[in-house]
Structure 1
Amino acid sequence: MLISPPFLPPRADNQTEEQWLEVAMSGGEPGDGGYPVSYNLGWHGGMHMQAPVRGNTGVEPVRAIADGVVVYRRGTGEPPQAPSPDAPLSYGGRTSDGVVIIRHETEIGVVPQRNIPTRVVFFSIYMHLHTVRSTVRQGQTIYRKDELGQAGYIRGQPGRIHFEIICDDANLRKLVGRGSGLVSHASDGRSDAVFGELYFHLTESVRVYAERPPLNRPASSDGAMLEEDLFVGLRYAEGDGTPFTRGHAYVTTYRQTGTPLGAALVEPDAEYNLYRDANDISEAYPANARPVPSAVYELLRFGRIVGPDPLVPADVPHWRKIRTPAGTGWVNLNAQGVHKFSDADFPQWRDWKLIEEAEDGNCLCNAPEILRSVDFNRDGSISAEEAHTRLVAPEVKAFMKRLICKFPTEWDATTIDSCWEWLKTRSPVNLNPMTNLQFDRLRAHITALAFWKDADLQVPQHDVDGRITGFHALPSTHWHFDPREFVRIFRKCRWLSSLEFSLIYTDTYQKKVGSRLETARNALRHEVREQYRIQINQIARKYHVSASSYRLAHFLGQGAEESRTLTLMFERRSEASCNQLYSGKLGNDLPGDAFRYRGRGMKQLTGKFNYAEYWVYRGWISRESFDQSWWERRGVVRRPVISEPDVLGTDDYAVIDAGGWYWTASPHRGGPHMLSSINRVINSSRPNRENVRVVTRAINGGETGLDNREFHTDRIYRVVGDEVYQ
């Protein structure tokens, strides 16, 4: 899933992701279109957002947040006349009635080993549009960032929309990993979707050490026990952070309530050092008992194994320095009884909670968890003053934004009386009940805005291969997300769906040479694209390439040149040509090596040096099976024996992983050098010739194919990035 806000203002230089999102999705204050309740504690299923200013030309247009299908629209491309003062759309001031609803069918991950994608369906609702673009047609596929229309009026306030995200029970379970209750501490969290911050549940019996124990020492009894259950969060910095944060890891200790135990401990360059650290841990073991470095890499990256290489022994330690109630110390995050989670679990210790409204047929909140947060004096009754005071309190706002709530839609014209009739009854929080005449005006206003019956939202059901097997109607009582938090959390996912991937590697292949653009139509088939899509997603997540749209564009743009957009997974050169190019180079020191170790895989791994190091990384050969002096070619030496180099062209996972490995390892004759990880050289700016040149040099030491690499990197960034191009 690639997702972005409904407004896309330009990103300022060195503006962080969070700073930009605050500008892009402002509004939604309590009492002014906040989520999930209003001041009178009526349910409010979405959020009122203010369109950001767009230069000197008005405000930013409303855009689709993700690819999908338009399932409902109301409105025209022409600005409507202002309604008369007594019209239903003049209730409390002018209100626009334009609506667009998009059904999004996408993916957020895959079941490990089985390669079954986790497919999800949700709806985004954009209301109070002043105009709706004529290009937005019901039944039409629409793409992320496409213009939907212009923000309109809400009770006299211009440039505003009501933005809502909803789903049914089945898709809630897929989106957040459960359908009710809390995340269990008794087992690991979901493994199909792992993204964002990682979490480790430590029981009170976990041992803490003043100094880091040896890399190959899982546990001992000489450490002090925690004596309190804690959660440890491990977050690698987002790839679009500032130059001073990229590459770092942040380790935060949370109490069971979710309260951080002090500031995060910073591990400088921890992401860039993952390959080095994985090798150091592997080599700390005896030669005949070494864990596979690629599995150790995943242990450090995810806290668990998600790929095909097993971790043997299973108790390889994962040491991290953490804060504890007694100070700081080292703990083994792979110790027995430690369970692992991520942001994809929507855990309660990060304030995520599922709230299911009692089925009383009205739109007045009666959820005890929400009422308790507003009932400041704990007398069991909430006054209007309490509601106004508590709903704006920072701690209550923080609590509300991560509630996922199930309650009836506000936009069903047939249920207005049953839903809102309580507004005519006096209560401590509703001190001025409506008269019948006032309620009639409200009814007319809601009726003018309602769409539920006309929209008839249908949820598709899929089989394991993604084929639609049927539809069912979305119930009028369904799940609502704080739309701002939904966008925030799923921007960490960046798992490419089939549709998104088809926009990145299209059927038609183009190659840029100088100013000339060569085109080959139908060069890439859908079946080939799908053959590698899951693996590319896995590898992008594994090597932190999907941490930002900038990294993803560079990785896939370079891959477009190296693999001719997945159509060339091995170098098509004659043996004579390979001998001329590679003999005596790149570790090729025997007759036939140049052809035997020609370029293979998505990144065209070339030469015996690279093959040998990747084979060690995957555990296919041991480092002790050949002499270390071979790297310098000193004297008579034992050489690495690589029996099946063609695996880099035939094993789908290895085809892609070898490219990800080279991207993060940048190997240097047997080990990582000081500047390992091409992620290190990618900054947070739109791809251009200079930064593509830097990445290209990091890959092959030269500028081979620079024109084409720049062309594809820029082209792909237009798909995965947030910038809008005219």
Structure 2
Amino acid sequence: MLISPPFLPPRVDSQTEEQWLEAAMSGGEPGDGGYPVSYNLGWHGGVHLQAPARGNAGMEPVRAIADGVVVYRRGSSEPPEAPAPDAPLNYGGRTSDGVVVVRHETEIGAEFQQNIPTRVIFFSVYMHLHTVRSTVRQGRQILRKDEIGQAGYIKGQPGRIHLEIICDDANLIKLVGRGSGFVSKISDGRSDAVFGELYFYLAETVRVYPQRPPLNRPSPSDGSPLGENLFVGLRYAEGDGMQYKRGHAYVTTYRQSGTPLGTALIEPDAEYNLYRDANSISDAYPANARPAPSAVYELLRFGRIVGPDPLVPADVPHWRQIRTPAGTGWVNLNAQGVRKFSDADFPHWRGWQLIEDTADGNSLCNAPEILGPADFNRDGSITADEAHTRLIAPEVKAFLRRLICKFPTEWDATAIDASWGWLKTRSPANQNPMTDRQFDRLRGHIEALAFWKEANLQIPQLNADGQITGSEALARTHWHFDPREFVRIFRKCGWMSPLEFSLVYTDAYQKKIGSRLDTARNALSHEVRERYRTQLNKVVRKYHLNASSYRLAHFLGQGAEESRTLTLMFERRSEASCNQLYSGRLGNDLLGDAFRYRGRGMKQLTGKYNYTEYWVYRGWIARESFDRSWWERRGVVRRPVISNPDVLATDDYAVIDAGGWYWAASPHRGEPHMLSSINRMVNSGRPTRENVRMVTLAINGGETGLDNREFHTDRIYRVVGDEVY
């Protein structure tokens, strides 16, 4: 799923990802359209957001947050400039009634071993629209960033929308990994989706050391028990535009309550050093017991193995320096009993909670998880003053944003009395109950805005193979997310769905040379695209290529030239042509090497020494089995033995992973440049000819196909980025 805010203001160069998201999704304050409750403790299923200014041209339009299908549309019946005081849409001030509902069917991951995608369905609801574009039609596909319309009025305030994110029980489990309760710590978290910050649950018996033990010693005899159950968070900096943060890792220790134990420890350039560190750990073992560097790379990247290469031995240590109650020390995050999770688990120690309030069927919040923090004097009841005071407290606002709540919809005109009748009853939080006449005015307002029965939202039912077998209406009582947090968390996912990937690598292949653009129609089929899509998503996640849309665009743009958008996974040259180009180069020192080690895979890996380094990385051959720089030696030479180089054209994972490995390792003349990850070169901002040239030089040492690489990188950035053109 690729996701973005409903407003897309231009990003300022100095803005971090968080600062930009705040600018794009401002509003939603308690008492003014906040989530999930109002001051009188009535449930509120979404947030009221303010449209940012669009330079000198009014306000930013409302846009679709993700790809989907429009399942309900109602144009705005805007009242006159001076509507009658008792008009239903003038309740507390002018209110717009345009509505669009989009159903999103997408993916957030897949099991590495079984390749079964994790398909999810959720709905985004856009209310109080002043206008709805004529292109937004029921049953029609809508893409992320497509304009929906213009923000309208909410109680007299212009440029506002109500945004809601909802799903049913089955899709809640797919989205967050569980349907109730807290994350279980007796086993590792989900493996189909691993993204964002990584977390390690350390029992109090885990040992901590004042200095880092040897790289191949998982459990030295010295050290002291932690003495307290802790969580350790490991985050590789997102590509957020702040130069000094790029590439760093941040290690934060959390207590059981989720409170950080001091500030994060910073590991400079840790992400760029992953390949170097994986090799260093592997090399610390004897040659006959050496773990594959690719598996060690995943251990450092994800805290566990999520790919096809097993970690042997399984107890390879993952040493990190952390804060402890006694100071700082080193712990093995791969020690026995340590459990691993990520943001994809929506962990409770980071504030995520699932709350159900469905028994009475009304819109009054009875959840003790919310009532407790609002009850300032702990007398068992909440007054209006307490609600006003506590709901605006920063710690309570932060707490509320990560609650995922199940309660009835506000927008069912047939259930107004059942939902809102409590407003006519006095309570500590509702000191001024409504009269019948006041309630009738509210009823008219809700009826003017309601859409639930008319929309009849349908959720396709999928079988185990992901095939649609039927559908059912979304129940009146369902799960709600704070849309701001939903967007924030799933922007870390970066898993491309079939539709999203078809926009990146289209059926028609275009090649740009100078000012000429050649097009080969139907060059890429859906079947070929799907053959590689899951593997490419895994590799993009493994090498942190989806940390920003800039990285992703550069990687996929270069791949478009190298593999002709997945349609050319081996070099189609004759043996004579390969001999002319590659003989005596790239480690090819024997007759037939030039053709045997011709370009293969998404990166078109070429030459015996590049093949050799990848084979060592995957653990398929040992470095001790051949002589270093064998192509320059005389006399008896031990050369690498690569029995099946066609693996790079036939094994779907290796075809893509070899490209990711080259991006991270940047080998040259058979010796990896341990610190030269191409990610270092990808700066934030729209791709330009100059930064595409830098990446191209790092990949092939020249500027072959530069026009085409620039064309595809820019084209793909328009798909995966947040900018609009």
- The answer to whether the superposition gives a TM-score over 0.5 is yes
CA contact (8 A) 1:629 1:637 kept: no
Determine the structure 1 residue equivalent to 2:624: 624
In 2: Cα distance, 1:515 partner to 1:466 partner = 43
Tell me how far 1:634 sits from its aligned partner. Answer: 5.5
Tell me how far 1:211 sits from its aligned partner. Answer: 0.5
Determine the structure 1 residue equivalent to 2:89: 89
**AA partner of residue 406 (structure 1):** K
Query: Which digits, 9 at most, give the CA deviation of each residue in 1:371-422, with x for residues without a partner?
Result: 0010011110101100000000011001100000000000000110111111
In 2: Cα distance, 1:422 partner to 1:488 partner = 34
Tell me how far 1:630 sits from its aligned partner. Answer: 1.8
Determine the structure 2 residue equivalent to 1:652: 652
Query: What SS is found at the alignment partner of 1:628?
Result: coil
Are residues 1:152 and 2:191 paired?
no
CA contact (8 A) 2:629 2:670 kept: no
Query: What SS is found at the alignment partner of 1:546?
Result: coil
Tell me how far 1:670 sits from its aligned partner. Answer: 4.4
Tell me how far 1:672 sits from its aligned partner. Answer: 2.8
In 2: Cα distance, 1:448 partner to 1:491 partner = 34
Query: What SS is found at the alignment partner of 1:71?
Result: strand
Tell me how far 1:175 sits from its aligned partner. Answer: 0.1
In 2: Cα distance, 1:632 partner to 1:420 partner = 83
**AA partner of residue 491 (structure 1):** R
Determine the structure 1 residue equivalent to 2:113: 113
In 2: Cα distance, 1:607 partner to 1:16 partner = 41
Matches for 1:38-57 after TM superposition, within 5 Å: 38-57=38-57
CA contact (8 A) 2:358 2:408 kept: no
Tell me how far 1:693 sits from its aligned partner. Answer: 0.6
**AA partner of residue 274 (structure 2):** L
Q: Which moved more, 1:220-229 or 1:363-372?
A: 220-229
CA contact (8 A) 2:78 2:96 kept: no
Query: Which digits, 9 at most, give the CA deviation of each residue in 1:18-41, with x for residues without a partner?
Result: 010000000000000000000000
**AA partner of residue 597 (structure 2):** Y
In 2: Cα distance, 1:635 partner to 1:330 partner = 48
Determine the structure 2 residue equivalent to 1:450: 450
Determine the structure 2 residue equivalent to 1:342: 342
In 2: Cα distance, 1:409 partner to 1:711 partner = 46
Determine the structure 1 residue equivalent to 2:316: 316
Matches for 1:458-473 after TM superposition, within 5 Å: 458-473=458-473
In 2: Cα distance, 1:414 partner to 1:374 partner = 31
In 1: Cα distance, 2:128 partner to 2:688 partner = 38
Determine the structure 1 residue equivalent to 2:431: 431
Determine the structure 2 residue equivalent to 1:580: 580
In 1: Cα distance, 2:11 partner to 2:377 partner = 44
Mark the CA change 1:159 to 1:569 in structure 2 (over 3 Å): closer, same or farther.
Answer: same
In 1: Cα distance, 2:622 partner to 2:239 partner = 33
Determine the structure 2 residue equivalent to 1:269: 269
In 1: Cα distance, 2:136 partner to 2:196 partner = 33
In 2: Cα distance, 1:221 partner to 1:671 partner = 36
Tell me how far 1:701 sits from its aligned partner. Answer: 1.1
Tell me how far 1:183 sits from its aligned partner. Answer: 0.2
In 1: Cα distance, 2:528 partner to 2:481 partner = 36
Determine the structure 1 residue equivalent to 2:609: 609
In 2: Cα distance, 1:267 partner to 1:101 partner = 44
Matches for 1:273-672 after TM superposition, within 5 Å: 273-630=273-630, 632-633=632-633, 635-672=635-672
Tell me how far 1:465 sits from its aligned partner. Answer: 3.2
Query: What SS is found at the alignment partner of 1:376?
Result: coil
Tell me how far 1:81 sits from its aligned partner. Answer: 3.4
Tell me how far 1:631 sits from its aligned partner. Answer: 6.2
Matches for 1:11-30 after TM superposition, within 5 Å: 11-30=11-30
Query: Which digits, 9 at most, give the CA deviation of each residue in 1:447-479, with x for residues without a partner?
Result: 000000000001111123332111011000000
Tell me how far 1:358 sits from its aligned partner. Answer: 4.0
Mark the CA change 1:309 to 1:722 in structure 2 (over 3 Å): closer, same or farther.
Answer: same
Tell me how far 1:648 sits from its aligned partner. Answer: 0.2
**AA partner of residue 73 (structure 1):** R
| Structure 1 unaligned residues grouped into runs of 5+ | none
CA contact (8 A) 2:28 2:35 kept: yes
CA contact (8 A) 2:507 2:521 kept: yes
CA contact (8 A) 2:36 2:482 kept: yes
In 2: Cα distance, 1:354 partner to 1:198 partner = 21
Query: Which digits, 9 at most, give the CA deviation of each residue in 1:603-637, with x for residues without a partner?
Result: 10000110000000011111111012426536532
In 1: Cα distance, 2:396 partner to 2:238 partner = 27
CA contact (8 A) 2:374 2:390 kept: yes
CA contact (8 A) 1:240 1:550 kept: no
Tell me how far 1:581 sits from its aligned partner. Answer: 0.7
CA contact (8 A) 1:358 1:367 kept: no
Query: What SS is found at the alignment partner of 1:545?
Result: coil
Aligned residues: 724
In 2: Cα distance, 1:208 partner to 1:466 partner = 45
Tell me how far 1:697 sits from its aligned partner. Answer: 0.7
Mark the CA change 1:512 to 1:642 in structure 2 (over 3 Å): closer, same or farther.
Answer: same
Tell me how far 1:431 sits from its aligned partner. Answer: 0.8
**AA partner of residue 81 (structure 1):** P
In 2: Cα distance, 1:634 partner to 1:429 partner = 89
Determine the structure 2 residue equivalent to 1:223: 223
Determine the structure 2 residue equivalent to 1:61: 61
Given the two structures, how large is their TM-score scaled by the length of structure 2? 0.99
Query: Which digits, 9 at most, give the CA deviation of each residue in 1:256-276, with x for residues without a partner?
Result: 000000000000000000001
Query: What SS is found at the alignment partner of 2:220?
Result: coil
CA contact (8 A) 1:203 1:230 kept: yes
Tell me how far 1:14 sits from its aligned partner. Answer: 2.5
Determine the structure 2 residue equivalent to 1:100: 100
Query: What SS is found at the alignment partner of 1:160?
Result: strand
CA contact (8 A) 2:130 2:151 kept: yes
Query: Which digits, 9 at most, give the CA deviation of each residue in 1:572-607, with x for residues without a partner?
Result: 011111111111111111111111100000010000
The RMSD of aligned alpha carbons is 1.0
In 2: Cα distance, 1:156 partner to 1:278 partner = 59
**AA partner of residue 551 (structure 1):** R
CA contact (8 A) 1:198 1:341 kept: yes
In 2: Cα distance, 1:241 partner to 1:389 partner = 37
In 1: Cα distance, 2:22 partner to 2:399 partner = 18
Determine the structure 2 residue equivalent to 1:165: 165
CA contact (8 A) 1:631 1:669 kept: no
Tell me how far 1:674 sits from its aligned partner. Answer: 5.0
In 1: Cα distance, 2:673 partner to 2:372 partner = 56
Query: Which digits, 9 at most, give the CA deviation of each residue in 1:123-167, with x for residues without a partner?
Result: 000000000000000000000000000000000000000000000
CA contact (8 A) 1:240 1:683 kept: no
CA contact (8 A) 1:358 1:366 kept: no
Matches for 1:67-82 after TM superposition, within 5 Å: 67-75=67-75, 81-82=80-81
Q: Which moved more, 1:620-629 or 1:307-316?
A: 620-629
Tell me how far 1:427 sits from its aligned partner. Answer: 1.0
Determine the structure 1 residue equivalent to 2:191: 191
Tell me how far 1:221 sits from its aligned partner. Answer: 2.7
**AA partner of residue 650 (structure 1):** T
CA contact (8 A) 2:78 2:97 kept: no
CA contact (8 A) 2:665 2:674 kept: no
Matches for 1:662-701 after TM superposition, within 5 Å: 662-673=662-673, 675-701=675-701
Query: Which digits, 9 at most, give the CA deviation of each residue in 1:523-577, with x for residues without a partner?
Result: 0000000000000000000000011111000000000000000000000011111
Query: What SS is found at the alignment partner of 2:36?
Result: coil
| Structure 2 unaligned residues grouped into runs of 5+ | none
In 1: Cα distance, 2:629 partner to 2:717 partner = 43
Tell me how far 1:359 sits from its aligned partner. Answer: 1.2
CA contact (8 A) 1:233 1:254 kept: yes
